[in-house]
Amino acid sequence: MNSKDIVQAITTGQTALGIELGSTRIKAVLINNDYTPIAISSHDWENRLENGIWTYHLEDVWHGIQDCYSKLASGVFEKYGVNLSKLKSIGISAMMHGYLVFDKDGNQLAEFRTWRNTITERAAEELTDLFGFNIPQRWSIAHLYQAILNGEKHVHDIDFLTTLAGYVHWKLTGERVLGIGDASGVFPIDSNTNDYNMHMMELFNGKAASKDFTIKLKTILPRVLAAGESAGRLTYEGAKLLDPSGMLEPGIPLCPPEGDAGTGMVATGSVAERTGNVSAGTSIFTMIVLEKELSRIYTEIDMVTTPAGRPVAMVHCNTCTSDLDAWVALFHELVEKLGHDDSKSTLYNLLYQKALDGDPDCGGLINFNYFSGEPITKIDGGRPLFVRTPESKLTLANFMRAQLYSAIATLKIGMDILLEQENVHVDKLIGHGGFFKAKGVGQKLMSSALRVPVAVMETAGEGGPWGMALLAAYMTDKSLNETLESFLDNRVFAENKSIIAEPDAADAKGFEVFMERYKKCLAVEDMAVKVFQ
């Protein structure tokens, strides 16, 4: 589409906006009416560890969103010479799970407890037993029940419990709603009704009442909406909150707010049965759309949904690239001290490519990338740890390969359950996130480690916020009875190009040897958490 047509789409309000609050960046993507990005902006931020809680302050949320939107609007004006005042639709997404609670006057009752926290073990175990359904520690209901078990006084004043995406959407529209994918990380979903599981909700109400919590859960949770449903309109106050300049007009429709897992599925076209994606950035997780239910409960597997409500098996690990990033920063500091001014992106690419020269089993090197606890391996805290024996082959190539393997290792444990024990079929995984930025490296090693073809799509470069913009566009553009799957297949990805990596036998065998050592060394990582306070 030429520049004149893009200007026409902007001035007549035919563009859709997706904003995603990720773990390290808030990002906005504006798409044209052919669903391609025409403007992109971002704002860097970082979580805080305060009093043992991983959190973000809500003032940082709004500062970040406003800065991100301001950069987007400025970029549109600089590139196309027109102001951004009208939009066809808006979608808000954010990191899933966590705990945000407010009283009847809208006052925040407790610090935002993010997905990264592993402080709800007792609650998660009790609820899993109660429901006969796996409740991970990071889910909102686990945080609520843990607060009840802890005797935290604020729980009796809760009027609204939501996720970060739900909170932002509420402030922009006044609507207390959630997209079904994000809601599936709040409380278990019944895919037959596309709503919370009412039987489990009654079980929770009874259990909580015995702990002196008498508020009915349904009254404080967001209403569940599926992709394509209307989720309210931008209010005058919401428009000023998003764009303090006053340029943005109120009244713009918003689609249901979603979690970053759901937007990753949309951005990779992985919403139909036998499709799946792997998101590898600050955290790492796979999402596999199931053909049938799993045979039993696995604490390593989360049952969530697509934004349209289809059941999904999710393997989620809290840390992926954070340890890698720290080591690259250290090497970059050395390079600068030596008088070189190579960019960090150049160094990333060089080090990732070097990993391909390493021994398939990393020469006996083991690395744990745990910046926080990992429930899958029953590790309670974050202690990044590098381990080797005197006989290990310590080379730069082996070291970097060990870093990349470490980013995949915990995920591999959960994926083995799905692929080997449950015989789940997935034709290929679509990869997205920072782990795949060095062309061909992370993709090749991931494919061999999981023994599944891994594709990286040219059109998925903007990830979650682009997926959120697509969900916003789907709400306004879909024809009667057009499913999300057909919308993505026929309108968005019909001419998509991707590069596919097939598993390499030598790398796959080497990774298995690495994993044998990795599992044995988990006792060392556990001890590090206990003694290194």
Over residues 28-46, the mean pLDDT reads: 95
Question: Is pLDDT of 185 > 60?
Answer: yes
Averaged pLDDT, 501-529? 97
Does 533 have pLDDT greater than 90?
Answer: no
Angle at 384 between CA 344 and CA 163, to 5 degrees: 85
Contact status, residue 451 vs residue 300, Cβ threshold 8 Å? no
Asked if the model's pLDDT at residue 12 lies above 60, the reply is yes
At 302, the pLDDT band (50, 70, 90 cuts) reads very high
pLDDT of residue 497: 78
Measured distance CA(114)–CA(152) in Å, rounded: 18
Q: Using 50, 70 and 90 to split pLDDT, how confident is the model at 1?
A: low
CB 50 within 8 A of CB 111: yes
Per residue in 195-212, pLDDT tens?
999 999 999 999 999 999
**pLDDT 10s digits, 150-176:** 999 999 999 999 999 999 999 999 999
What pLDDT is attached to residue 191? 87
Under DSSP, is residue 40 helix (H, G, I), strand (E, B) or coil? strand
Instruction: Using the predicted structure, report yes or no on whether residue 297 has a pLDDT greater than 80.
Output: yes
Question: What pLDDT is recorded for position 266?
Answer: 94
What mean pLDDT do residues 25-30 have?
Answer: 96
Q: What is the pLDDT of residues 221-236, one digit of tens each?
A: 999 999 999 999 999 9
Angle between helices 522-531 and 505-520 (to 10 degrees): 40
Q: How far apart are CA 430 and CA 61, in angstroms?
A: 30
- pLDDT tens-place string over residues 93-105: 999 999 999 999 9
Q: pLDDT tens across 431-455, in order? A: 988 899 888 999 999 999 999 999 9
Cα–Cα distance measured from residue 287 to residue 411, given in angstroms and rounded to the nearest whole number? 11
For residue 457, the model assigns a pLDDT of 81
pLDDT range class, residue 343, cuts 50, 70, 90: confident
DSSP conformation class of 221? S
User: What share of the chain in percent tops pLDDT 70?
Assistant: 99
CB 103 within 8 Å of CB 130: no
The pLDDT tens digits for 112-140 are: 999 989 899 999 999 999 999 999 999 99
Pairing label, strands 429-432, 385-387:
unpaired
CA distance 435 to 323: 12
Query: What's the confidence (pLDDT) of residue 494?
Result: 84
Average pLDDT of span 28-53:
95
Residue 268 has pLDDT above 80, yes or no: yes
Q: Which residue has the higher pLDDT, 497 or 168?
A: 168
Domain residue limits, the chain: 260-319+414-501, 322-409+505-531
Do 175 and 256 meet the contact criterion of CB atoms below 8 Å apart?
no
The yes-or-no verdict on residue 304 having pLDDT over 60 is yes
Residue 462's pLDDT is: 65
The per-residue pLDDT for 459 is: 56
Residue 273 has pLDDT above 60, yes or no: yes
- pLDDT greater than 90 at residue 501: yes
- Residue 461: its pLDDT value, please? 52
Check if the beta carbon of residue 220 is closer than 8 Å to that of residue 203. Answer: no
The predicted pLDDT at position 250 comes to 98
For residues 463 and 355, the model is more confident at: 355
> What is the CATH code of the structural domain delimited by 260-319+414-501?
3.30.420.40
Nearest to 222 by CA among 63, 101, 66: 101
**Average of per-residue pLDDT across 375-393:** 94
Which of 148, 223, 224, 141 has its CA nearest to residue 186? 141
What pLDDT does residue 244 have? 97
* Mean pLDDT, all residues of the chain: 95
Cα separation values, 323 from 78, 119, 344, Å:
37, 22, 15
